Structure 1
């Protein structure tokens, strides 16, 4: 395994993210397809639009699939894929488990369920500088029956996210500071994701995905719990259940390193996942499509996969690799 594609999730969105995607024919075609599937899905990236978790998750799916298709058209395909939270859906398209239409419909449904589950009074906060054991003790100290809090995301050893009620998160700020946290910051996410509070959303997503055909994976997929998944049923279960379980991104990046990844490529938007990968594997090349561009990212991918000799610019290889990422 040499090249891993990383797909960011909610919290990385920014205004203009869809309009700033690479100017590549595959991106244009993907955005047009998205419009046919969900009108407005490829254009709504204003601050007001992205305030909605539904719009944000759909936009992230469009961005991830468009980027993957652009790279594939240049002969650049991954050896493994991993998506952070909502980023798992474009990752599943890249792996061949979902079609683009299935992914867009699923993330819209996921966003609607999340939005309606807790319209007010809940959210998420990032905690920097506490180990997981110490953070668990702090979370336990601020949790009550009426105001729960949960460890939701482990991005690195000391970069965590807590989900819960507003009152619990307010107490968390002071308690984490006393425990030695460098910073506690509320995130622009008004839903307590990746914790048992969304168990009913996970059940509804499992029902929604139950009718998806079981398609063999074209590349391995790393689930949010940090496991390598090779069976379509396991990937669909991860897509459904991940909303109610802790994201262990630290373990995902560690496992990719153990599997021999030599190049990490992050799709738009931003560079958050690239930064985590770079810190965990300082001797491994890490690039983002936003900074590197399609042509250079594709060149690096082909070189690491040993396909550059047969496809100097990727055009010939694109004919052979376009199908796995075409969202059929």
Structure 2
């Protein structure tokens, strides 16, 4: 038996997400620590504030670490962790690769770089109902030198995300419909993440993370840009840096977790989108989202399903 913690990324943020976290001393302590690390920015979770990619990514990091610490305070720790896009940073904290302060500082830097690289004219759209080969053909048909588009995220076999210029994404609607897509919807993300357009951001993040000490992993970490199990902190840091400019292979992450014997998926707040994907991929496996589940119940399930002899480190995750 094995427990995997899943950390959602940008696009899942919602107003009030930090104030709706479990009422646990570890959550209060984490929010207070975040305020000390990034004064004035870490607790902003209004609709207006979360329109900023910087604020949204910081809030997601705070939420993920706070939830992990609350579960750890109840004796519930994971056997593996995986984060979707910006969720990779709280996952790296849970794995022991980053301290909370290092993660918050890196996430803020990442958000600033992304915002400044493409302040307008770009975005992302989810496409439902097309396979990866079909989507690639559609993307090729709508791409021009002035208006590029890229396959940015493979969430499931039939749920994909395209990144690119506004005019290319406008052409995506009709082209995807002709190819048989059920739906195309623009996401609340103002930058073209997970594609070569952010290559310079990835380079800058690699430079930023180069000073982080190489620490042994407390639990295995699955890289969302590789879809593979990473056991070396250097590989995790490279995944954190390069992931912003490479396709997210979340379908592969969830599939591999199943192959590794995961018997319980636990998604940290906000929302339950990753839990829904895990449930669809592994219908016989127990899946819970902390946003929909009492903390005590989630902790009990985690303690029951953990690997015998698994790591017991934690109540001070990320300190």
TM-score interval (norm. to shorter) = over 0.9
Deviation at 1:40, TM superposition (A): 2.6
Residues 205-227 of structure 1, C-alpha deviation per residue, up to 9 Å, x if partnerless?
Answer: 00000000000000000001201
Pair 1:15 & 2:6 matched: no
Q: CA deviation at 1:326?
A: 2.6
Distance in 2 (alpha carbons) for counterparts of 1:290 and 1:177: 34
Q: What residue in structure 1 maps to residue 263 of structure 2?
A: 262
Q: Structure 2 vs 1, CA of residues 173 and 321 (structure 1 numbering), >3 Å: closer, same or farther? A: same
2: distance between equivalents of 1:41 and 1:223?
27
Paired with 1:35 and 1:187, the residues of 2 have a C-alpha distance of 28
Is 1:192 equivalent to 2:192 in the alignment?
A: yes
Cα separation, 2, equivalents of 1:26 and 1:297: 15
Q: Indicate the residue corresponding to 1:109 in structure 2.
A: 109
- Aligned 1:124-139 pairs, distance under 5 A: 124-139=124-139
SS in 2 for 1:242: helix
Counterpart Cα distance in 2 of 1:302 and 1:14: 29
Q: Contact (CA 8 Å) 2:126, 2:185: kept in 1 or not?
A: yes
- The question of whether the paired residues in 2 share the 8 Å contact of 1:41 and 1:62 is answered with no
Name 1:293's counterpart in structure 2: 294
Who is 2:317 aligned against? 326
Classify the secondary structure of the residue corresponding to 1:4.
Answer: strand
Match of residue 274 from structure 2? 273
Supply the RMSD in Å over aligned alpha carbons.
1.5
Alignment of 1:108-187 (within 5 A): 108-187=108-187
Distance 1:43 1:108 in 2: 13
* Aligned residue in 1 for 2:208: 208
Give how far 1:230 is off. Answer: 0.2
Partner of 1:252: 253
> Which deviates more, 195-204 or 33-42?
33-42
Gaps of 5+ in 1: 308-317
- What secondary structure is seen at the aligned counterpart in 2 of 1:290? coil
Instruction: Name 1:235's counterpart in structure 2.
Output: 236
- Cα distance in 2 between the residues matched to 1:306 and 1:257: 14
Post-superposition shift, 1:39?
A: 1.3
CA distance in 2, matches of 1:152, 1:174: 19
Q: Does the CA contact (< 8 Å) of 1:154 and 1:249 recur in 2?
A: yes
Query: Which consecutive aligned stretches of 4+ in structure 1 deviate over 6 angstroms post-superposition?
Result: none
Report the alpha carbon displacement of residue 294 of structure 1 after superposing the two structures with TM.
Answer: 1.3
Q: Corresponding residue for 1:24?
A: 24
Counterpart of 2:5 in 1: which secondary structure?
strand
CA–CA separation in structure 1 for the residues paired with 2:42 and 2:78: 24
Match of 2:218 in 1: 218
Aligned residue for 1:315?
A: none
Distance 1:116 1:49 in 2: 17
In the other structure, the counterpart of 1:304 is: 305
> In the aligned structure 2, how far is the partner of 1:112 from the partner of 1:162?
22
Report Cα offsets for 1:135-184 as digits up to 9, x if no partner. Answer: 00000000001110000000000000000000000011110001100000
CA–CA distance in structure 2, aligned partners of residues 149 and 326 of structure 1: 39
How many pairs does the alignment contain? 318
Alpha-carbon distance change, 236 to 197 in structure 1, aligned in 2, over 3 angstroms: same
Q: TM-score, with normalisation over the residues of structure 1? A: 0.95
Q: Is it true that 1:72 corresponds to 2:63 in the alignment?
A: no
Gaps of 5+ in 2: none
CA shift at 1:306, angstroms? 6.0
SS at 2:152 equivalent? strand
TM-score w.r.t. structure 2 length? 0.97
